[in-house]
Chains A and B, each alone.
Chain A
Amino acid sequence: LSDSSSTSVEHVIDSSTHSVRRVLSQMEELLLQTGTWTENERLDIQLALDEALANAVYHGTLEIEPRLRARPDNAASEMAKARRSQAPYCHRRIRVSATVSPSEAAYEIEDEGPGFDPAALVQSIDLDDLERFTGRGILLIRSVMDEVSFNAKGNRIRMVKRRSVDERASE
């Protein structure tokens, strides 16, 4: 691919672990095909996609409350397992779209859940409260991607990663 060319793909998946892993694998393959993205950059994108998809599956599609995920037992994953076969959760789909060029990778992930208020997210990680399960994923996404934004409903995230000047200079 030349610097100006790009490839766009879109997947619509259910909330199963299998579907999520398959789409993550396809996104990784798309980056590898460009031949320019370094391993570090690909790991950053993999982390951002993993976090965004986890939010879309557990908070959006399956509506698992964060406080349930913080409990010291398996209640959250048991509920996730049950809801994957219950209406309305089992009918919801997640749309994953990507546009990747040798210098920029842009992703959109949208779920069919009720959404959340992005303005209510925590702005920094509290070292005394590292066990908390709310907001840390978004903070990680912000730290590895160059642009992160949400729609007003809070059920769609857009993330962009650009190849750094340093990485290009080292080639």
Chain B
Amino acid sequence: MMLQIVATETDGVTVLDLSGRLVFGEESDALRECMGRLVAQNKTKVLMNFQDLTFVDSSGIGTLMAASSQVKKSGGVVKLASAVAQVDKVLRLTGVVNVLELYSTKQEAMASF
């Protein structure tokens, strides 16, 4: 399954609902392009909801961190929520959770902005 990204805006926060797999290739390109558009539109409070993201690999992590860095340079922030078991494990093994805030639910993450 390819990566699908649905963007909505709530209380000044852009919520990206990701579903499918975040891996090298078209999937990573899609996230990179989406984040580039958000930064260009000065939408720099971003919550990535991983509830339906089933798989991430090291390339996906690289893309996620590059996108987050891009947003940070524009004075914004990226937060994460609702990682399923495989995604949660890779976020922890790679140390991403030490750099980006990860919340158990979308609601908790929204309340933190």
Residues of A at the B interface (CB closer than 8 Å) are 17, 39-40, 43, 46-47, 50-51, 54, 58, 69-70, 72-74, 76-77, 80, 125, 127, 130-133, 136-137, 139-140, 143-144
B70 to chain A, nearest CB (A): 7
Which of chain A's residues have a CB closer than 8 A to the CB of B42? none
Alpha-carbon distance between A40 and B58 when the two chains are bound, in angstroms:
18
Residue contact B95 to A130, C-beta cutoff 8 Å: yes
Closest B residue to A43 by beta carbon equals: B86
Selected from A70, A72, A76, A140, the residue in CB contact (under 8 A) with B90 is A140
Tally of chain B residues near chain A (CB < 8 A): 28
Q: Is the interface of A mostly helix, strand, loop or mixed?
A: helix
Residues of A near B96 (CB, < 8 A) are 130
Query: What 1/0 flags go to B58-99 for Cβ under 8 Å of A?
Result: 110110011001100000000000000110011001111011
Residues of chain B lying within 8 A (CB to CB) of residue A40: 85
Q: B23 interface residue, CB < 8 Å from A? A: yes
Given contacts A17-B25, A77-B24, contact A131 B69 (CB under 8 A): yes
Query: Cβ of B49 < 8 Å from any Cβ of A?
Result: no
B residues in contact with A50, CB < 8 Å: 23, 55, 57
- Can you list 18 A-B contacts with CB-CB less than 8 angstroms, sorted by A residue number? A43-B89, A46-B55, A47-B86, A50-B23, A50-B57, A51-B58, A54-B24, A74-B32, A76-B24, A77-B25, A77-B26, A77-B29, A127-B95, A130-B65, A130-B96, A133-B58, A136-B61, A143-B93
